[in-house]
Amino acid sequence: MCELLGMDCNTPTDILFSFTGFSQRGGRTGPHGDGWGLAFYEGKAVRAFVDASPCAESALATFVRSHSIKTMTAVSHIRQKTRGRVKLANTHPFVRELWGRAWVFAHNGTVRGLPRVKTGRFVPIGDTDSERAF
């Protein structure tokens, strides 16, 4: 099952300390080697980093760990797939625009019994149950 890391602060803070330990669970000290992502809110916008490789081995994660990005809200996810292939389109957090702002979603677990409702202009990019639920 996937793991999540979130941060919500009252002053801009970097997530480096927590993300450094968390990222090792993505393939080195944990079984979550099927991709990872990290999203930082900047007002109504989001700066997102996603990679289909294990977080512990990812050059992009190394880059993130070496740069202090301050934010008041961050969401990170390391994936151990249960549905959908290992690929960039299936990595969390997912980011979509609605009402003029970016929304972020990351999920841990399997979503069963999703109804096949029309999603309008919101068409999933990947093939996970989590993104469809989002």
Give the tens place of pLDDT for each residue, 66-100.
999 999 999 999 988 877 789 888 898 989 888 99
Q: What is the pLDDT of residues 21-32, one digit of tens each?
A: 999 989 899 888
> CA 105 from chain center: how many Å?
7
76/111: higher pLDDT: 76
34 φ, ψ to 5°?
A: -105, 30
Task: Give the fold, CATH level 3, of 3-133.
Answer: Glutamine Phosphoribosylpyrophosphate, subunit 1, domain 1 (3.60.20)
- Quote the tokens at residue 4: 């999540």
**How much is the pTM?**
0.86
- As a whole number, the mean pLDDT across the chain is 88
84 — alpha (psi -120 to 50), left (phi > 0) or beta?
A: left
Look-up of token digits 């996970």: 128
> Hey, how many other C-beta atoms are within 10 angstroms of the C-beta on 90?
23
Q: Where are the domains of the chain?
A: 3-133
Determine whether 55 is an active site residue. Answer: no
Local confidence band at 130 (pLDDT 50, 70, 90 cut-offs): confident
* Interval 94-123 mean pLDDT: 81
H/E segment holding residue 11: strand 3-13
For the segment 2-15, the average pLDDT, to the nearest whole number, is 92
Q: 2, 5, 75, 106: which is the annotated catalytic residue?
A: 2
- Burial class of residue 18, CB neighbours in 10 A (0-12, 13-18, 19+): middle
pLDDT of 132 above 80: no
